[in-house]
Structure 1
Amino acid sequence: GLKLLGAAPPPLRYCITQGDHDLGYVHTGVPPFRFLKAAHRGSHVDDLLRAPVRAQPHWRGAYSDGSIANSWYEVSVASPDGLGAAPPRQVAMLIICLEYRPRDAVLKWASQLLGRHPEHQAILVTHSYLNATSGMHSRVVSSVDDSNVISGSEGDGVFKVAAQHANVFLVLCGHDDGEGYLLSNGADGHPIHQVMSNYQQWRNGGNGWLRYLRFDLGRDEVHVRSYNVLTRRHNHSSELTLLHCMRGRKACGAVEKREQKPTQRWYRSVDTPEGTPSLLATASTTTRSAPVTHSAQVHLRHASHGAPRT
C-alpha cells in the first residue's frame, strides 16, 4: 500500500497512527477474551514502517527516537490560481499522530509541541476518540473486563490538549463503527471539529470506502467526503462542510460568526446492493454548555450484518 502512495504522480504524503489491533496480543485461554489485544505496547509497526515514514520530506520528529507511534509532520496547504483563494496563499499545518490510548507523558509532549508552533494550523490524529454516538470516550484504566488492557487517555484526555491551544481546529479518529462528527469549543471559545471514520465492520471489511478532506482556502471551508473506490460513487448523506479560518482567528473573525447550528443528528444506514449506504432513520436535538462546549454532533452509523468484527 505504501509503495502505491510513493508511486503516485506526484508521491502522496501520509502519516501513520497505531490502533488497538496493531499492538501486542496475549493468549489467556480465559473467556470472554481468550486473546487480549493491545495487552502491551509492543508492535511490528516500527519494524515495518518506521524507515519509509521517516524518509518522507514532511516528517519532523517523534516522541521517541525509536518509534513512529507518536510523530509530528509539517505540511503546506496551497491554493493555486483558480482554486479558491485570490491572491494565492499557503497555510502551514502541523499534524500530530498519537498512539492508541496516549499516555500522560505523550499528551504533555503534544501540548508542548503545539505551544512551540502557535502560527501553524494544527490537526491531531489518534485511533480511539469518539464513540458510536459521536460522544467522547473517557480515560481508560486497565481492566480484566476490557479486551484492550493498556491504560491511557482516549477522547477526554486528547480533547483537553486540543482545548488549550487555539491553533488546533481538527481531530481525526477511527476505531468505532461508522462515521461521526462532533463540534466543540476550546477554552478560549475556538471551534474544534472532530471527525470519526471507520468502515471495517461494513460488508467485505469496508467495501472500498474511504474518507477524504478538501481544503478550500478561499472560502475558509474544509469539505469532508466519503468515497467508494470500487463503485466510484460518493455517499452524499454523510457529507460535511467544516467552517475554519485558515489564516488564524485574528485575520478573519467573520468566518467564526457564520452560523454553525448546535444540533445533534444521528443516522443509521445499511448497504444497498451497489455498496452505497442508504438512510434509514434520523433524530435531532439541541445541546449547549459552557465554558467548554460540545455543541454539534452528526453521526452516520452502519447497521451490522452478521456477527460484529472486533
Structure 2
Amino acid sequence: GLKLLGAAPPPLRYCITQGDHDLGYVHTGVPPFRFLKAAHRGSHVDDLLRAPVRAQPHWRGAYSDGSIANSWYEVSVASPDGLGAAPPRQVAMLIICLEYRPRDAVLKWASQLLGRHPEHQAILVTHSYLNATSGMHSRVVSSVDDSNVISGSEGDGVFKVAAQHANVFLVLCGHDDGEGYLLSNGADGHPIHQVMSNYQQWRNGGNGWLRYLRFDLGRDEVHVRSYNVLTRRHNHSSELTLLHCMRGRKACGAVKKREQKPTQRWYRSVDTPEGTPSLLATASTTTRSAPVTHSAQVHLRHASHGAPRT
C-alpha cells in the first residue's frame, strides 16, 4: 500500500497513527475475548513502517527516537487566493499523530510542540476520540477483564491539549463505528472541528469506503467527503463543509464573519440488502445560542434517513 502512495505522480504524502489492534496481544483463554489486545505498547508498526515514514520530506520528528507512534509533520498547502490577489497563497500546517490512549508525557510533548509553532494551522490525529454518539471518549484506566488494558487519555485528554492552543482547528479519529462530527470551542473561544471516520464494521470490512478532506484556502473551507474506491462514487449523505480561516485569526479579523450554525451530527452504518451501507442519523441538535462546547461554524449536507445519494 505504501509503495502505491510513493508511486503516485506526484508521490502522496501520508502519516500513520496506531490503533488498539496494532498493539500487543496476550492470549488468556478467558471468555468472552480469550485474549487481551492493547495489553502493552509493543508493536510491529515500527519494524515495518518506521523507515518509509521517516524518509518522507514532511516528517519532522517524534516523541521517541525509536518509534513513529507519536510523530509530527509539516506541510504547506497552496491555493488561489479567491479574494482578488493574483498569486496563490500558502498556509503552513502542523500535523501531530498521537498513539492510542496517549500517555500524559506524550500529551505534554504535543502541547509543547504546538506552543513552538503558533503560526501553523494544526491538526491532531489520534485513534480513539469520539464515540458513535459524538461524545468524546472519557479517560480510561481499564480493568483486567477489559479487552484493551493499557491506560491513557482518550477524547477528553486530547481535547484539553487542543483547547489550550488557538492554532488547533481540527482533530481526526476513528476506532468507533461509523462517521461522527462534533464542533467545540477552545479555551479562548476558537472553534475546533472533530471528525470521526471508521468503516471496519461495514460489510466486507468497509466495502472500499474512505474519507478525504479537500482544503479550499480561497474560501476558507474544508470539504469532508466519503468516497468508495471500488465504485468510484461519493456518499453525499454525509458531506461536511467546515468553515475555518486558514490564514489565522489575526489575518481574518477584518473579513466579514460568515453565518454560524451551532450543530452536531453523528451516523451509524446500516447495510442495505444490496450491500451498500446506509448512514442513519441517530440524533442531532441545533441551537441558536450554543454552549461553549458546541458553538459551530459549519455547513452540513446530509440525508437524515435512507440510503446515501451516490
Q: TM-score, normalised by structure 2?
A: 0.90
Instruction: Output the CA distance in 1 between the equivalents of 2:106 and 2:268.
Output: 35
Deviation at 1:306, TM superposition (A): 20
Would the aligned equivalents of 2:179 and 2:267 in 1 still touch at CA under 8 Å? no
DSSP-derived class of the 1:296 partner: coil
Deviation at 1:260, TM superposition (A): 3.0
Would the aligned equivalents of 1:127 and 1:174 in 2 still touch at CA under 8 Å? yes
Range with bigger deviation, 161-170 or 275-284? 275-284
Q: Which residue of 2 aligns with 1:10?
A: 10
Deviation at 1:257, TM superposition (A): 3.2
DSSP-derived class of the 1:156 partner: helix
Deviation at 1:144, TM superposition (A): 2.2
Compared with structure 1, are the counterparts of its residues 283 and 38 closer, same or farther at alpha carbon in structure 2 (3 Å cutoff)? closer
Compared with structure 1, are the counterparts of its residues 254 and 224 closer, same or farther at alpha carbon in structure 2 (3 Å cutoff)? farther
Deviation at 1:292, TM superposition (A): 4.4
Would the aligned equivalents of 1:288 and 1:295 in 2 still touch at CA under 8 Å? no
Would the aligned equivalents of 1:216 and 1:222 in 2 still touch at CA under 8 Å? yes
Runs of 5+ in structure 1 lacking a partner?
A: none
Range with bigger deviation, 26-35 or 15-24? 26-35
Compared with structure 1, are the counterparts of its residues 272 and 234 closer, same or farther at alpha carbon in structure 2 (3 Å cutoff)? farther
Per-residue CA shift, 1:206-246, capped at 9, x if unaligned?
00000000000000000000000000110001000000000
Compared with structure 1, are the counterparts of its residues 195 and 281 closer, same or farther at alpha carbon in structure 2 (3 Å cutoff)? closer
Compared with structure 1, are the counterparts of its residues 287 and 24 closer, same or farther at alpha carbon in structure 2 (3 Å cutoff)? farther
Would the aligned equivalents of 1:95 and 1:124 in 2 still touch at CA under 8 Å? yes
Deviation at 1:247, TM superposition (A): 0.4
Q: Which residue of 2 aligns with 1:277?
A: 277
Give the total of aligned pairs.
Answer: 310
Instruction: Output the CA distance in 2 between the equivalents of 1:237 and 1:271.
Output: 15
Instruction: Output the CA distance in 1 between the equivalents of 2:197 and 2:286.
Output: 23
Q: TM-score, normalised by structure 1?
A: 0.90
Runs of 5+ in structure 2 lacking a partner?
A: none
Per-residue CA shift, 1:16-41, capped at 9, x if unaligned?
10000000000111122211000000
Would the aligned equivalents of 1:179 and 1:196 in 2 still touch at CA under 8 Å? yes
Range with bigger deviation, 39-48 or 279-288? 279-288
Would the aligned equivalents of 1:288 and 1:294 in 2 still touch at CA under 8 Å? no
Would the aligned equivalents of 2:235 and 2:308 in 1 still touch at CA under 8 Å? no
Per-residue CA shift, 1:52-98, capped at 9, x if unaligned?
00000000000000000000000000115889975310000000000
Once the two structures are superposed, the pairs formed by residues 226-241 of structure 1 within 5 Å of their partners are 226-241=226-241
Deviation at 1:249, TM superposition (A): 0.2
Instruction: Output the CA distance in 1 between the equivalents of 2:32 and 2:302.
Output: 25
Deviation at 1:143, TM superposition (A): 1.0
Instruction: Output the CA distance in 2 between the equivalents of 1:209 and 1:19.
Output: 18
Would the aligned equivalents of 2:101 and 2:128 in 1 still touch at CA under 8 Å? yes
